[in-house]
Structure 1
Amino acid sequence: MIITDTHTHLYSEAFNEDRHEMIHRAIDNGVTRFFVPAIDSTYTKAMFQLEKEFSEYVFLMAGLHPTHVKENYKEELKHVDEVLSKRKFYAVGEIGIDLYWDKTTLTIQKEAFKYQIKLAKHYKLPVVIHCREAFDEIFEILETEKSDDLYGIFHCFTGTLEQAHQAIAYNMKLGIGGVVTFKNGKIDKFLNQIDLKHIVLETDAPYLSPVPYRGKRNESAYITKVLEKLSELYNIPTEVIAKITTQNSKDIFKI
């Protein structure tokens, strides 16, 4: 059984003490495909080192995270463009809009999001979208940018059934992680109404640990708890869920 974690920050400082052990725990649990999103240029070196050490398993993205869209965002976007022009990446991400932490940067967040969507189209790559308290703003931009070459993943999807269908209509898969195991996560109430062909698995490690690890550091091995929850919701064996969601990830990332 091959399990794909489509969103994991393996280079995070949270793993500095046991990164290799943590990754091997995941591999031992059948997680053999790790897609690693970017945050900003300060992590690029660590991401490249991670890829070098786990080249068989790790696939990198390039991008500027919306919470890191600051005064120097134009320099950061230039960095994203530069690295994309020099080597292979598998997506532009994570990108998007986050209005939970800072609403004052909305204008430049929108600008950075649009710019990176255009980069993804230019390099024929999928986008991986971060959305927090910003569904309307995200959909507004996706509407203006929609085209056959705009596709990707709505990472950490936490919206309504209606918003799920809207995201899918923009050629997005839904990234489902630990939130689906939360009592107040809400998406478990309707997720089985969404065809599995629209879903990929993720952890967002070290964040958003699934039950029973909620509140603790997340790691990619815990994706098995997400898999088990989807198996319960869809009444389909975990092996089948893993196979379908891994194929979905292959359709997106082309590997």
Structure 2
Amino acid sequence: MITDTHTHLYSSQFNEDQAAMMQRAKEAGVSRFFIPAIDSSHTKSMLKLEEDFPNDVFLMMGLHPTSVQTNYLEELAHVKEWIDQKDFYAIGEIGIDLYWDKSFLAEQQEAFRTQIKWAKEKKLPIVIHCRDAFDEIFEVLESEKSDDLRGIFHCFTGTLEQAKKAISYNMKLGIGGVATFKNGKIDKFLNEIDINHIVLETDAPYLAPTPFRGKRNESAYITNVADKLVDIYGISFDEIAEITTQNSKDVFGI
């Protein structure tokens, strides 16, 4: 059993073959799909995905940092409304992204901190999006750290030092296609990180692993990520699947 801890299966890129794509993933051994939120414009399609695949998908709710704009308070209210009326498995994906736009940094920080507090209130894990913002993310985590803070550092692309710091805040590292890239860098030090701190993800339809790099990603391709971890850790594919799935259970509680 393999768990994809981060996959946008409701993306419009899957409109033409969503059911077939899900079947390919299941045939590849993927049986658990954790679905991150982006903003209110995607909620309807997320809920439809859950309706269509009730035994396979597990929804998160949250406001993605790149969706933190002038209307972010309305978007946060949407998140709060949903987490108060429906059970979700995490608050995510949330965080800070300074790659595309730095003008909403203060608002991103506020949204990140607010949603962490909601996660604690609901006893839910968080799933962090971080791009060009490790220092800013760690600053918020330092102020919010506690025994009930846990989660996943989605699409981890930092250094060994940053990996250790993320783990110190009770975060697992979400490892996906980047680990298979020639210039991905994280494959150079992952063997120094205990595999008990690792979970698998695809971030489909984005960041397809080698040999599919540059094409649409899908959850079935998580096996290519697992194969890379076989090389890095020197243990079997089945052990990679079992350990990383157990790690996901430790985070999500299911």
User: TM above 0.5, one fold?
Assistant: yes
Q: Deviations over 1:28-62 (max 9, x none)?
A: 11001000000001111111110011111100000
Q: What is aligned with 1:9?
A: 8
Q: What is aligned with 2:39?
A: 40
Which letter does structure 2 place at the counterpart of 1:39? I
Which letter does structure 2 place at the counterpart of 1:235? G
Asked if residue 228 in structure 1 is aligned to residue 227 in structure 2, the reply is yes
Q: Deviations over 1:100-149 (max 9, x none)?
A: 00011101000100000001001000000000000000000000000011
Q: Deviations over 1:148-175 (max 9, x none)?
A: 1111000000000000000000000000
Q: What is aligned with 2:206?
A: 207
Which letter does structure 1 place at the counterpart of 2:203? D
Q: What is aligned with 2:130?
A: 131
- Structure-1 separation of matches of 2:147 and 2:13: 38
Q: Deviations over 1:201-222 (max 9, x none)?
A: 0000000000000000000000
Which letter does structure 2 place at the counterpart of 1:97? I
- Structure-2 separation of matches of 1:241 and 1:217: 24
Q: What is aligned with 1:160?
A: 159
- Could you say what secondary structure the match of 2:213 adopts? coil
- Structure-2 separation of matches of 1:124 and 1:183: 38
Q: Please report how far the alpha carbon of residue 7 of structure 1 lies from its aligned counterpart in structure 2 after TM superposition.
A: 0.1
- Give the CA RMSD over aligned residues: 0.4
Which letter does structure 2 place at the counterpart of 1:188? D
Written as runs of structure 1 = structure 2, the 5 A alignment for 1:20-99 is 20-99=19-98
Q: What is aligned with 1:194?
A: 193
Q: TM-score normalized by structure 1?
A: 0.99
- Could you say what secondary structure the match of 2:70 adopts? coil
Structure 1: runs of 5+ lacking an equivalent: none
Structure 2: runs of 5+ lacking an equivalent: none
- Could you say what secondary structure the match of 2:123 adopts? coil
Q: In the comparison of the two structures, how many residue pairs are matched?
A: 254
Q: Please report how far the alpha carbon of residue 87 of structure 1 lies from its aligned counterpart in structure 2 after TM superposition.
A: 1.1
Identity %: 70
- Structure-2 separation of matches of 1:10 and 1:18: 11
Asked if residue 218 in structure 1 is aligned to residue 208 in structure 2, the reply is no
- Structure-1 separation of matches of 2:198 and 2:22: 23
- Could you say what secondary structure the match of 1:11 adopts? coil
Q: Please report how far the alpha carbon of residue 194 of structure 1 lies from its aligned counterpart in structure 2 after TM superposition.
A: 0.4
Which letter does structure 2 place at the counterpart of 1:118? K
- Structure-1 separation of matches of 2:141 and 2:173: 15
Q: What is aligned with 2:172?
A: 173
Structure 1 segments, 4+ long, off by >6 Å, are none
Which letter does structure 1 place at the counterpart of 2:238? E
